[in-house]
Amino acid sequence: MNSLPAHVREKLSAVSTATLCTALFKRGLRNQFVQDVRPVNAKPHNMVGEAFTLRYIPAREDLNPITVFEDRAHPQRKAVEECPAGAVMVIDSRGDPRAASAGGILVARLMMRGVAGIVTDGGFRDSPDIASLPIPAYHKRPSAPTNLVHHQAVDLNVPIACGEVPVWPGDIMVGDAEGVVVIPAGIAEAIADEAEQMTAFEDFVQERVLDGFSIIGLYPPVEPQTQVDFAAWRAAKGR
Amino acid sequence: MNSLPAHVREKLSAVSTATLCTALFKRGLRNQFVQDVRPVNAKPHNMVGEAFTLRYIPAREDLNPITVFEDRAHPQRKAVEECPAGAVMVIDSRGDPRAASAGGILVARLMMRGVAGIVTDGGFRDSPDIASLPIPAYHKRPSAPTNLVHHQAVDLNVPIACGEVPVWPGDIMVGDAEGVVVIPAGIAEAIADEAEQMTAFEDFVQERVLDGFSIIGLYPPVEPQTQVDFAAWRAAKGR
Amino acid sequence: MNSLPAHVREKLSAVSTATLCTALFKRGLRNQFVQDVRPVNAKPHNMVGEAFTLRYIPAREDLNPITVFEDRAHPQRKAVEECPAGAVMVIDSRGDPRAASAGGILVARLMMRGVAGIVTDGGFRDSPDIASLPIPAYHKRPSAPTNLVHHQAVDLNVPIACGEVPVWPGDIMVGDAEGVVVIPAGIAEAIADEAEQMTAFEDFVQERVLDGFSIIGLYPPVEPQTQVDFAAWRAAKGR
Amino acid sequence: MNSLPAHVREKLSAVSTATLCTALFKRGLRNQFVQDVRPVNAKPHNMVGEAFTLRYIPAREDLNPITVFEDRAHPQRKAVEECPAGAVMVIDSRGDPRAASAGGILVARLMMRGVAGIVTDGGFRDSPDIASLPIPAYHKRPSAPTNLVHHQAVDLNVPIACGEVPVWPGDIMVGDAEGVVVIPAGIAEAIADEAEQMTAFEDFVQERVLDGFSIIGLYPPVEPQTQVDFAAWRAAKGR
Amino acid sequence: MNSLPAHVREKLSAVSTATLCTALFKRGLRNQFVQDVRPVNAKPHNMVGEAFTLRYIPAREDLNPITVFEDRAHPQRKAVEECPAGAVMVIDSRGDPRAASAGGILVARLMMRGVAGIVTDGGFRDSPDIASLPIPAYHKRPSAPTNLVHHQAVDLNVPIACGEVPVWPGDIMVGDAEGVVVIPAGIAEAIADEAEQMTAFEDFVQERVLDGFSIIGLYPPVEPQTQVDFAAWRAAKGR
Amino acid sequence: MNSLPAHVREKLSAVSTATLCTALFKRGLRNQFVQDVRPVNAKPHNMVGEAFTLRYIPAREDLNPITVFEDRAHPQRKAVEECPAGAVMVIDSRGDPRAASAGGILVARLMMRGVAGIVTDGGFRDSPDIASLPIPAYHKRPSAPTNLVHHQAVDLNVPIACGEVPVWPGDIMVGDAEGVVVIPAGIAEAIADEAEQMTAFEDFVQERVLDGFSIIGLYPPVEPQTQVDFAAWRAAKGR
């Protein structure tokens, strides 16, 4: 899984999920922000990586005694050992946080293996421990019960739903303090480029606004002078 | 998919989903009733058949133009032509009825192919037409929008969630006027046998109650005389 | 439990829950309509009776094996045998219809004992059977699983919540095809009288409206002529 | 409000909301089906008419005593007397059915004035009475409490939300047994024409399917022979 | 919009939303606390100001391309430039946080214009940026997608719903670390006076409780000695 | 209420709710974690204590004027003065946070009386004040309105629901930064012992994982060497 060139990863590390959502909207993609999922603990840099997915279905009691994890090929444990370095593990928990999607030990193992982050639309257990790890982790809310109560892992790396959004294996996941956005793999570079340009303009606008300017004519820049001023600002800032 | 012997199918046709749920509960299976799903139109006989599953994820706009159905291998259309006669098509719509899981033409085609029924935890479009067909159909509520708005078919015959319940391919689906229950394939015959026995007893009890008897000692039959009376009733009724 | 005089019961049988809600609103009672609960099968006459309550809490697995009903003093079974004739059994199921609040046999027994009706903010199992009984029954939706999965009976005849509404033992429950309203015991007669008067006026208004009159001045009767016409109508109708 | 020519109204009377949703989807309009709203009682013909809107906000106790309806200019009563014949009254109840959006007398008055139907994303009181009237009425569920408990009418004929869908005054509302769809006024004729054509094709397909044909190549008609057969069918049927 | 005298504003800055809710409850106003809305970042002082409202309806795709903001009269942008200094912008987002109600640039502009705060029952994008600004902002949760996905601004300064509560233009909005309360304009001074008195008493009670006193007789002060002690406390504290 | 020996309390203070949930799961108890409830402010040590319960039903307006608290025997105030030192007050608020379950003064009084903590599945008012007190408090979200708006206290120390979980008086409540778990009184010591052992193993595993080991064979310890290593680790750590 080396589809994500370093320069694209770098650009995506420096833009916000809000800006990325607008870039996606311009291409007709309206539903790429993972809904109702938040960082366990905000990190100073964005999470960026290709999606490696894990799919849960509701647990059936006879198939989910505590002993299932003794199976070395159990999909959840396999996922943790197979998720590529640099990727983001994304879990389809059907939006159900009543039992954990994963816990502190598995998240720590992912981190040690170089995984870039983990996202679930359910909840993590050991969330206070996870909050203290450097790896970015996103969930709906803390959830102490073992996943065996409600979740059974069945598939690795198939298309899934996460937070009401489609996630295809290899899609680029970007997370900041606001949440997580999913970028279709094929347009990741184009989106990164556009978002970088948009970010420069938004930074310029924010500066202007904090200097007291009105947004009318400035944002969007329908006033021709805005374009002139922005060009000067870019030159001055070297952006 | 001929795992379901005719005599088991027949027994399951003559018991209620309520009785089946209790038989499953006795074996520790507490979560096998498809939640919040109802018949489009109640039928005089139970729906019975092996689960043939179809999995949806949220639709992405660029992957779901109206033209996708021109692809003869589109999973939704493939599912309709491949679901075995006697089976029940079960759709994981993530509990989302905002767009249709299927419509009248596909349901008619399933019926013509001998499929035993269709279940979704989303909604059907053309629901008034479907209500007029003899094939049993269960959903959450009517939903006119095309499935392309919110659902993309991705998999056939994998384990899924439907109505917050696990459905494994080959599980036995039974539906009555109350709803749909999922019986793990391996215990279908045992459950059918037990439910048949329980139904005889419940019919006996209901008769007694309508004759004015108290339920104390009768239901459950902790009063020894109840067992005697039940044996006599069975003999008299030939059950 | 003979707090409800026959003439009050009769009056309450002939007015709608909508009219009763307005009479209650005039006394400052805004939250007496049981929310999201509907008849299993509409009956030609209103359900009327004093509330006899049953309170459920979430079931704990070790306390709720299938054998608990062998205890003749189990609160659910006790409730069914103790609910007075003429009363309405009201069950606090915490609004949770994932498992049954009661089933066909218990409802049949209540009917045989002369109970006036049964209301739960959960669901009934055997709902097709219950629909065929003459006793009025109100619930959220059908629910086949045994109550042992999610509900444990703990109290009889204590104040409860049902459908987000307070129900005190002895309150008067009235149900029609629209739903169920709770009238505090102490004002039942006054409310019945007022609702009877309001019903006469509403019937008069409906007749006028179907004759083509505008509602302005008629409903409410701020036009003095309306009062004159209504008096004439009452005289003519003998109401 | 005579924007809707009779021939368009007629065409819209003879197509389904499902077909209309697909025609709208082809134009990029994905969210025009009023969610979670159903007929109080299904009618043999479609409801068709221009939207005349009424907007509610949450009621404040001091502004909503029972006496407010004595004001002849109260927006709710004004709406009932001003909604044009042939139009459909559409109420924004914020999706809240805990108190009524309107009751039997007001709906009867609308009917007498020639109004084509009424839609709310809340609930109606007197719903059994409304079910017996010939005017189509759509709501979420029955609701006996007076609207004063939760709803205050503030605006007539402004853009609103209804069932999570935008409704602009003059948009064309079409309702069948499945639900209600909103067609932007400017494209109503084009949509009606397209839906009429689609309906002919769908009827042809349904006939073929019930004759045993596979949907592959037929629906959509990627098999050239399908087009030939359809042309022959149209000629034979005079459609 | 200078309806709010400085001394009232000052009093409202020094009392809690909890105390204000009780003062409103005493006047029969039970539903004035904006539900499920929280500060993006708690501020040391209360937000206080007159409500200036903005109303959204669901977005329709053809009316909401990215280019709409080029219109200098677009209601959202107009709102940002017209909301009076000292007022609080209150947005009716129908409780839907799936797309943003506003973002960091607009909030910064409001702040620069002297606006006292911003409240939505949806979500803000750029929420980490907004959290770093001194202006108080309240929402349901962060939401990166552009508002064009789900929200279309249609009205300025009309009565709205926000967090299931009625907000009339000119009502006084007060926000603290707990949330936001809406005070009808006409009673703002009376409520401020009462809340100031109540706060003195509550501070006295809290001190007593932390000194080990029982609440019985103290809170409420049914023990006569409590009144004597409170008078002494006020004298000593100069309150 | 001295059922909880000091050494059990101490053990429960040093393990996580996640570990306790797994120990309970091994005994077949799947639903003991209070759902959707979080600390008002995380504390360095666990909350541990026997449950002392308070049950609310929906408030009825005529029974809940502001004057009810003048009654010294009002159940809510009685609860605050009677909850034993060392116990945890647990409130059944029916999961409804629209009005407060309790406020800062009552929580302060509980703290002064030596109560170990307070849990509600509703919300607290004065939550910023409560956050500054040393007593642990758990709720769904802040809620400024007085409890009289929606809650009426009716019972002390009966079995209740809290966060969809059964709580029996005397059950042991344990809370950490993740949430609150309920341990049936009769197995508290056994669960504490098991959790203590599990915690040692989990700490060992976490150390190994952070040293770079794979989880396969380690967690669970199906690799025999893991048991050897763990024994050595325990000896070295003195655990």
Q: ipTM score here?
A: 0.96
- Name the minimum distance, in Å, from the CA of B67 to any CA of chain C: 39
- Strand blocks (E) in C94-179: 100-102, 117-120, 123-124, 137-139, 151-156, 160-162, 165-167, 172-175
pLDDT at position A3 is: 73
Bridge partners for E174 per DSSP: E48, E181
CB contact under 8 A, F108 and E33: no
**Do C and F touch (≥3 CB pairs < 8 Å)?**
yes
CB contact under 8 A, B178 and C144: yes
pLDDT at position E1 is: 47
- Name the minimum distance, in Å, from the CA of B231 to any CA of chain C: 19
Does C143 lie in the same domain as C61? yes
pLDDT digits (tens, 9 = 90+) for A161-211: 999 999 999 999 999 999 999 999 999 999 999 999 999 999 999 999 999
Q: Is residue B1 part of a domain?
A: no
Question: Residue C239 is encoded by which pair of tokens?
Answer: 């109401």
Task: Quote the DSSP letter at residue C171.
Answer: P
CATH number at residue E10: 3.50.30.40
In Å, what is the CA distance from B239 to each residue of B197, B233, B234, F207? 9, 8, 5, 64
Chain D residues touching C212 at Cβ < 8 A: 112
Name which of B98, B141, B144 is nearest D18 (Cβ-Cβ): B144
Does F232 lie in the same domain as F170? no
- Is residue E221 pLDDT above 70, yes or no? yes
How many structural domains does chain E have? 2
CB contact under 8 A, C209 and D149: no
Query: What is the DSSP pairing of strand D117-120 with strand D137-139?
Result: parallel
Q: Is residue F149 part of a domain?
A: yes
pLDDT at position C1 is: 47
Chain F residues touching C160 at Cβ < 8 A: 57
CB contact under 8 A, B16 and C144: yes
Q: Is residue E79 part of a domain?
A: yes
Evaluated on CA atoms C8, C12, C15, C20, the torsion sign reads positive
Confidence class for position D1, pLDDT limits 50, 70, 90: very low
Residues D94, D102: Cα–Cα separation, whole Å:
14
Does D199 lie in the same domain as D173? no
Q: Which residues of E lie closer than 8 Å to A, measured between beta carbons?
A: 66, 69-70, 72, 77, 80-81, 98, 100, 103-106, 108-109, 112, 125-129, 141-146, 148-149
Per-residue pLDDT of chain F (239 residues; tens, 9 = 90+): 457 999 999 999 999 999 999 999 999 999 999 999 999 998 989 999 999 999 999 999 999 999 999 998 899 999 999 999 999 999 999 999 999 999 999 999 999 999 999 999 999 999 999 999 999 999 999 999 999 999 999 999 999 999 999 999 999 999 999 999 999 999 999 999 999 999 999 999 999 999 999 999 999 999 999 999 999 999 999 99
Please state the length of chain D. 239
Residue of F nearest to E44 (CA): F128
Does B195 lie in the same domain as B181? no
- Is residue C235 pLDDT above 70, yes or no? yes
Does F202 lie in the same domain as F179? no
CB contact under 8 A, C158 and F154: yes
Q: E67, exposed or middle or buried, with CB in 10 Å at 0-12, 13-18, 19+?
A: exposed
Instruction: Determine which of A25, A31, A199 to mutate to test the interface with E (most E C-beta atoms within 10 Å).
Output: A25
Global confidence as pTM: 0.97
Please state the length of chain B. 239
Does D211 lie in the same domain as D153? no
Which residues constitute the domain of residue A170?
A: 6-186
DSSP states of C209-236: HHTT--STTTSS--SHHHHHHHHHHHHH
Instruction: Determine which of B143, B147, B150, B151 to mutate to test the interface with D (most D C-beta atoms within 10 Å).
Output: B143
Evaluated on CA atoms D178, D182, D186, D187, the torsion sign reads negative
CB contact under 8 A, C105 and B26: no
Least confident of A15-24, A53-62, D72-81, D225-234: D72-81
CB contact under 8 A, A108 and F179: no
Q: Is residue A84 part of a domain?
A: yes
pLDDT at position F1 is: 47
- Is residue E42 pLDDT above 90, yes or no? no
Domain end position, chosen among C186, C212, C227: C186
Q: Is residue F1 part of a domain?
A: no
Q: Is residue C158 part of a domain?
A: yes
Neighbouring chains of A at 3+ CB pairs under 8 Å are B, E, F
Name which of D62, D160, D166 is nearest E29 (Cβ-Cβ): D62
CB contact under 8 A, A80 and F215: yes
- Name the minimum distance, in Å, from the CA of F22 to any CA of chain A: 6
Task: Quote the DSSP letter at residue B68.
Answer: G
Angle subtended by helix axes C6-13 and C188-210, to nearest 10? 30
| Rounded (5°) CA angle C30-D151-C24 | 20
Does F10 lie in the same domain as F64? yes
Instruction: Determine which of D215, D222, D227 to mutate to test the interface with B (most B C-beta atoms within 10 Å).
Output: D215
**Do D and C touch (≥3 CB pairs < 8 Å)?**
yes
CB contact under 8 A, D214 and B109: yes
Neighbouring chains of C at 3+ CB pairs under 8 Å are B, D, F
Q: Is residue C1 part of a domain?
A: no
Domain end position, chosen among A170, A186, A202: A186
Does F225 lie in the same domain as F181? no
pLDDT at position B2 is: 55
- Is residue C42 pLDDT above 90, yes or no? no
Q: Which residues contact C72 (CB under 8 A, 6 or more apart)?
A: B216, B217, B222
- Name the minimum distance, in Å, from the CA of C2 to any CA of chain D: 27
Does F16 lie in the same domain as F52? yes
CB contact under 8 A, C219 and D105: yes
CB contact under 8 A, A209 and E72: no
pLDDT at position E3 is: 73
| 3-class state of residue D6 by DSSP | helix
Does A121 lie in the same domain as A60? yes
Residues B46, C128: Cα–Cα separation, whole Å:
13
pLDDT at position B1 is: 47
Name which of B26, B179, B219 is nearest C142 (Cβ-Cβ): B179
Q: What is the mean pLDDT of residues D30-48?
A: 96
Does B196 lie in the same domain as B119? no
Chain A residues touching B59 at Cβ < 8 A: 166
pLDDT at position A2 is: 55
- Is residue D90 pLDDT above 70, yes or no? yes
Q: A82, exposed or middle or buried, with CB in 10 Å at 0-12, 13-18, 19+?
A: middle
Average pLDDT, consecutive stretches of 10 residues, N- to C-terminus, chain B (239 residues): 84 98 98 98 94 98 94 92 97 98 98 98 98 98 98 97 98 98 97 98 97 95 95 96
Residue of C nearest to D142 (CA): C178
Q: Which residues contact D224 (CB under 8 A, 6 or more apart)?
A: none
Nearest to F69 by CA among F81, F59, F77: F77
CB contact under 8 A, E61 and D30: yes
CA A211 to chain centre: 33
pLDDT digits (tens, 9 = 90+) for C168-198: 999 999 999 999 999 999 999 999 999 999 9
Residues C210, C219: Cα–Cα separation, whole Å:
13
- Mean pLDDT for chain C? 96
CB contact under 8 A, F108 and E206: yes
Beta carbons of C144 and B38 less than 8 angstroms apart: no
Name which of F69, F106, F128 is nearest E178 (Cβ-Cβ): F128
Name which of E72, E105, E127 is nearest A209 (Cβ-Cβ): E105
Chain F residues touching A69 at Cβ < 8 A: 219-220
Q: Is residue C175 part of a domain?
A: yes
CB contact under 8 A, E18 and F100: yes
pLDDT at position D3 is: 73
Q: Which residues of D lie closer than 8 Å to E, measured between beta carbons?
A: 27-31, 57-62, 94, 152, 154-155, 158-161, 164-166, 168, 184
pLDDT at position F238 is: 94
pLDDT digits (tens, 9 = 90+) for E111-159: 999 999 999 999 999 999 999 999 999 999 999 999 999 999 999 999 9
How many beta-carbon contacts under 8 Å exist across D and E?
63
pLDDT digits (tens, 9 = 90+) for C157-171: 999 999 999 999 999
Domain end position, chosen among B186, B201, B226: B186
Q: Which residues contact E233 (CB under 8 A, 6 or more apart)?
A: E204, E207
- Name the minimum distance, in Å, from the CA of B104 to any CA of chain A: 26
- Name the minimum distance, in Å, from the CA of E62 to any CA of chain A: 12
CB contact under 8 A, D145 and C177: no
CB contact under 8 A, E178 and F70: no
Does F211 lie in the same domain as F94? no
